[in-house]
């Protein structure tokens, strides 16, 4: 099989060797126009970095992991290149399997997509679907269309549209078209445009129609023009035009490109006047004649020597620059991996502390701020609070996440500021407060959570009684 390549510049983050992977293994890549491949290539590095790639225990020869990531990423990005990255924002994990997947019922599958954001696929089915671009079957496209369908938390072959009117139009079309498709397959002749698996469930209509749209666009456009028109509207492209372009203007192969460049170099080297100048110089510059008598020859030698030194210097600078870039990239990847592990550990700790743990919250300086115990996700027992200087400021008793029992506030020097009681988050009984010098500040009584009496004390010991009053500790 010939390998075709374009000579366009490589997008940032996209490695040149990735084009070799795509040319060899992805049939759609060889059919696509150059301007579209460049747009998709720009998305591939973002997608590879975004996804967590996993490999199940492997039996037999394992494929090139980098190649597998690039090919799968390209097909996924092809679906959203003219739509939005939001279509795959919820997707986060891709798992490769060495063989077909089996469900709990023992049934085998080429792959499946989960609404929680991960896809699992058999590598043989994945590779076969990518390499054959005309059989209306591509596992990768199929599962990622499911993932696009999950964007709006639905599973009904209805992708995201920007307007509600478009959604209504598509739902009406889908209802009639799906019914017609099922009837067509009930006939002996069947339907040649979309494979029969689309009739198994309405959720599979969009996936199978998308496969036909990219891999057999001419037949789909002829037999089911309405389906093709909606696919154009959804993906904002026309694969039917790719075939025409590919038929008359194939891109240059890597081997052919190399041969062309070598031939051009040989032609230039053959036509150059350098050899004639050299021979002429040997005739005009006899042995033993000082170079100063032939300054143009000395200039040529000097320029040649300087060019060689400059090439050597540039090569060393390039190697040094590439080494520094590799080191920076390795450090960046190491930092990202460390941050990812730290974030995962932090989330794990947060989840772990939700149940049956003593929670200690600290200030940035390391001093404790809060301390309490969780039982079945609820606060239980004594809760303590400190300020940033490490002074105890509050003690509150809890039961099943609700205030139940004594509550005490303290001044920074340890003197009691206020003492009261709670019953099921409601204030109850006698509440007392003190000034910083230890003299009484107030005294209040609560019934059924309501303040009934308030007595305030001045520093001289005199008091004043209020009814249903409010202070900074009241409601």
CA pair distance 420, 395, nearest whole angstrom: 11
- Nearest CA-CA partner of 69 in 97, 49, 87: 49
For residue 382, the number of C-alpha atoms closer than 13 Å in the C-beta half-sphere is 6
Pairing of strands 52-55, 93-97: parallel
Q: Which residues of the chain have pLDDT under 50?
A: 1-5, 188-189, 244-250, 252, 257, 261, 264-265, 268-286, 291, 469, 472, 475
How far is CA 398 from each of CA 382, 409, 423, 425, rounded to the nearest angstrom? Answer: 6, 15, 10, 9
- Virtual torsion, Cα 420, 421, 427, 432, nearest 10 deg: -20
- Contact in structure between 390 and 397 (CB atoms under 8 Å): no
Two tokens, residue 217: 């666009």
Q: Where are the alpha helices (DSSP H) in 27-157?
A: 27-31, 34-50, 65-80, 123-131, 139-149
Q: Is the dihedral of CA 301, 303, 309, 312 positive or negative?
A: negative
Write b or e for each residue in 459-468: b if 16 or more Cβ atoms lie within 10 A of its Cβ, otherwise e.
Answer: eeeeeeeeee
Q: Where are the alpha helices (DSSP H) in 150-286?
A: 164-186, 205-215, 217-223, 225-235, 240-248, 254-271, 274-284
How far is CA 455 from each of CA 382, 420, 429, 463, rounded to the nearest angstrom? Answer: 29, 14, 14, 7
- Nearest CA-CA partner of 23 in 252, 261, 258: 252
CA pair distance 341, 128, nearest whole angstrom: 35
CA pair distance 72, 93, nearest whole angstrom: 12
171 CB-near residues (< 8 Å, 6+ apart):
158
pLDDT, residue 431, reads 92
**What would the pLDDT profile of 125-179 be if each residue is shown by its tens digit?**
999 999 888 888 899 999 999 999 888 777 778 888 888 888 899 889 888 888 8
**Going edge to edge, which strands form the sheet with 111-114?**
52-55, 93-97, 118-122, 111-114
**Domains in the chain, please, with CATH?**
16-248 (3.40.390.10), 357-466 (3.90.930.1)
Length of the chain: 475
pTM for this model (two decimals): 0.53
Write b or e for each residue in 282-320: b if 16 or more Cβ atoms lie within 10 A of its Cβ, otherwise e.
Answer: eeeeeeeeeeeeeeebeeeeeeeeeeeeeeeeeeeeeee
pLDDT, residue 10, reads 75
With 0-12 / 13-18 / 19 or more C-beta atoms within 10 angstroms meaning exposed / middle / buried, residue 140 is buried
- Phi, psi (5° rounding) for residue 14? -95, 120
Rounded to a whole number of angstroms, the distance between the first and last alpha carbons of the chain is 81
**DSSP helix/strand/coil, 95:** strand
- Contact in structure between 301 and 282 (CB atoms under 8 Å): no
CA triplet 13, 16, 21: central angle to 5 degrees?
Answer: 110
CA pair distance 122, 98, nearest whole angstrom: 6
380 CB-near residues (< 8 Å, 6+ apart):
372, 373, 374, 398, 399, 400, 401
CA pair distance 393, 76, nearest whole angstrom: 56
């Amino acid at each position: 099989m010939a390998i075709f390549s374009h000579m366009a510049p490589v997008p940032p983050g996209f490695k040149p060797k990735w084009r070799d992977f795509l040319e060899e293994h992805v049939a759609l890549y060889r059919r696509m126009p150059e301007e579209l491949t460049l747009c998709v290539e720009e998305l591939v590095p973002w997608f590879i970095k975004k996804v967590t790639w996993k490999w199940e225990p492997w039996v037999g020869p394992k494929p090139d992991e980098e190649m597998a990531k690039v090919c799968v990423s390209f097909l996924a990005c092809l679906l959203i290149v003219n739509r939005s990255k939001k279509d795959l924002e919820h997707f986060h994990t891709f798992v490769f399997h060495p063989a077909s997947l089996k469900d709990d019922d023992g049934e085998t599958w080429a792959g499946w997509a989960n609404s929680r954001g991960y896809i699992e696929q058999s590598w043989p089915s994945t590779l076969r679907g990518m390499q054959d671009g005309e059989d209306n079957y591509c596992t990768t496209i199929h599962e990622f269309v499911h993932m696009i369908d999950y964007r709006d938390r639905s599973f009904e072959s209805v992708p995201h549209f920007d307007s509600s009117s478009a959604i209504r139009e598509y739902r009406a079309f889908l209802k009639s078209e799906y019914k017609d498709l099922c009837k067509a397959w009930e006939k002996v002749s069947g339907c040649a445009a979309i494979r029969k698996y689309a009739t198994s469930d309405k959720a599979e209509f969009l996936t199978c129609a998308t496969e036909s749209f990219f891999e057999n666009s001419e037949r789909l456009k002829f037999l089911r023009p309405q389906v093709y028109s909606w696919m154009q509207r959804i993906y904002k492209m026309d694969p039917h035009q790719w075939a025409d372009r590919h038929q008359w203007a194939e891109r240059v192969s890597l081997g052919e490109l190399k041969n062309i460049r070598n031939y051009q170099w040989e032609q230039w080297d053959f036509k150059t006047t350098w050899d004639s100048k050299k021979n002429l110089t040997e005739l005009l510059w006899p042995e033993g004649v000082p170079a100063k008598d032939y300054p143009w020859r000395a200039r040529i030698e000097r320029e040649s020597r300087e060019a060689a030194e400059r090439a050597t210097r540039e090569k060393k600078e390039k190697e040094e620059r590439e080494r520094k870039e590799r080191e920076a990239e390795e450090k960046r990847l190491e930092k990202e991996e460390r941050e990812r592990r730290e974030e995962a550990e932090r989330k794990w700790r947060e989840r772990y502390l939700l149940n049956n743990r003593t929670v200690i919250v600290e200030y940035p300086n390391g001093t404790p701020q809060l301390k309490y115990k969780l039982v079945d996700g609820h606060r239980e027992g004594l809760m303590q609070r400190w300020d940033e200087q490490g002074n105890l400021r509050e003690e509150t008793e809890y039961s099943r996440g609700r205030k139940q029992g004594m509550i005490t506030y303290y001044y920074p020097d340890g003197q009691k500021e206020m003492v009261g009681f709670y019953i099921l988050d409601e204030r109850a009984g006698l509440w007392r407060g003190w000034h910083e010098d230890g003299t009484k500040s107030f005294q209040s009584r609560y019934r059924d959570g309501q303040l009934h009496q308030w007595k305030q004390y001045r520093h001289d010991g005199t008091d004043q009684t209020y009814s249903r009053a409010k202070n900074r500790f009241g409601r």
